[in-house]
Amino acid sequence: MIEIRNAGKKYLQGAREVHALRNVSLRIKSGEFLSIMGPSGSGKSTLLNLIGGLDQPTSGEIFMDGRPLHGISDDELTLIRRRRVGFIFQFFNLLPILTAVENVCLPLLLEGIPFTRIKPKAVLLLEQMGLGERTEHRPEQLSGGEMQRVAIARALITEPAVLLADEPTGNLDSHTSEEIFLLLSNLNEKGQTIVMVTHDSKAAAYGTRVITLKDGALAEDVSLGGAPS
C-alpha cells in the first residue's frame, strides 16, 4: 500500500549538503507492522516523515495506495496527512490547552466536522485505551503513558490507512512502554498497518518486519514471521 522508489532527501546545513536519505526503495504491505531501526542520524525519522507526508523527498517517488505523495502541493499533502495517516510521537505532542477528548477530536475538527458528532467516537476510543475516566483531563493532569494513549486515540480517530509512530515509548518506562506496544500489537492484529521508528529491539520484536537504515540507506530488511497468534 506504500511504495517508495529511490527516495532521497538532502538539505543544506549552512553551506554543507547533508544527505539524510539516499535512494531508499521500500514496499510496505497492508497489515504490516514495520519497525525502522538504525543509529541516530541514519535517516529513520526522515523516512517516516516522508511516508507520513510531513515532508517531501528531494528525489524519488512515494505512493500511498497508488497516489503520489511527491510533487504535490502542500495543501494536498496536508489533506492526505489529515485523512490517511495517524501520527504518534515520542513527546506525545498533545495540545496542552485542550482536554484529552478535544485532543482526540482535533483531526476531524480540522476536517470541519462538528465536535458533537465526533465526541462519542472519541470517547469510545479513549475507553478502549482504558481512559474512560480521563476524557476531560488536560495533558498536564495525565501520566506519560496516558498521554501516549490519548495520542494513539487521536491518531486512530480518522481510521487512517497507516499509523506512524516515532519512538512512541522513548519517554516512557519499560512497563508503560509494554502497555503501549500491546495496544499497537492488538491494533496490528486487527489489520492496522503500522510503521514505527525505534531504536529499541524489544519494541521492534512486536512487529512483523524490521528494516535497518545506515547513513541514509537501507541496510537490512528482516521479516519476523507472522503476527502473534
72 lies in the site for another protein, by CB under 8 A: no
Min. distance of Cβ 177 from another protein in angstroms? 12
- List, in sequence order, every residue forming a beta bridge with 197; answer none if it has no partner: 36, 166
Which region among 91-99, 125-133, 141-149, 190-198 touches another protein (by CB under 8 A)? 91-99
Q: What residues have CB less than 8 Å from 22, skipping those under 6 apart? A: 8, 215, 216, 217
137 lies in the site for another protein, by CB under 8 A: no
Task: Give me the DSSP letters along 17-83.
Answer: EEEEEEEEEEEE-TT-EEEEE-STTSSHHHHHHHHHTSS--SEEEEEETTEE-SS--HHHHHHHHHH
C-alpha grid cell, residue 133: 475516566
206 lies in the site for another protein, by CB under 8 A: yes
The 37-66 contact track toward another protein, x by CB under 8 A, reads --x-----x---x--x-xx-----------
Tally of CB atoms within 10 A around 157: 22
20 lies in the site for another protein, by CB under 8 A: no
Residues forming contacts to another protein in the complex (CB under 8 A) are 39, 45, 49, 52, 54-55, 74-75, 78-79, 81-83, 87, 89, 91, 93-95, 97-98, 102, 105-107, 109-116, 154, 182, 185, 200-202, 204-207, 210, 220, 222, 224-225, 227-229
